[in-house]
């Protein structure tokens, strides 16, 4: 029989898990944290929220995406405060993930490229 204290701690931990999980906006899936409304109001005007929630990256990564959207996709310019709020939210809630991608394969692990010219 399991130790009663261990069982109690396990049950306490299991019951506390949902309370510790970040609350999400049911319409967008955005984590409801400071700045989420600003992101919602500016991002999903042009694309789905899942383009945000399925991605992750550093503050620099998110800034580069914003600059790309402003340069080529018609995204409007943000005032400094709005841009800071968006970058704070994205980098805090959708920051870089460790081990999210597998390491690149070595050249000897790749299949033969049928389009590569063979050297004679």
- DSSP bridge pairs for 31: 24
Q: What is the pLDDT of residue 18?
A: 42
C-alpha distance from residue 1 to each of 15, 76, 116 (Å):
21, 64, 65
- Residue pLDDT, tens place only, 56-83: 999 999 999 999 999 999 999 999 999 9
Band (6; pLDDT cuts 50, 70, 90) = low
**Is residue 12 predicted with pLDDT exceeding 50?**
no
User: Per 3-state DSSP, what percentage of the chain is helix, strand, and coil (rounded to 5)?
Assistant: 50, 0, 50
Provide the whole-model pTM. 0.67
Q: What is the pLDDT of residue 79?
A: 97
> So where are the chain's domains?
57-96
Q: Residue 18 and residue 20: Cα distance in Å, rounded?
A: 5
Please enumerate, as own/partner, the contacts of 16-24 that have beta carbons within 8 Å and a separation of 24 or more.
22/93
């Amino acid at each position: 029989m399991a130790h009663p204290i261990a069982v109690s701690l396990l049950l306490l931990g299991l019951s506390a898990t949902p309370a510790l999980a970040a609350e999400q906006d049911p319409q967008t899936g955005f984590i409801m944290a400071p700045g989420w409304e600003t992101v919602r109001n500016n991002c999903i005007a042009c694309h789905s929220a899942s383009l945000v929630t399925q991605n992750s990256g550093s503050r620099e990564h998110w800034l580069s995406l914003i600059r790309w959207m402003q340069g080529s996709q018609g995204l409007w310019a943000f005032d400094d405060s709005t841009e800071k709020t968006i970058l704070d939210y994205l980098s805090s809630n959708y920051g870089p993930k460790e081990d999210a991608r597998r390491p690149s394969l070595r050249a000897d692990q790749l299949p033969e490229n049928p389009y590569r010219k063979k050297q004679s």
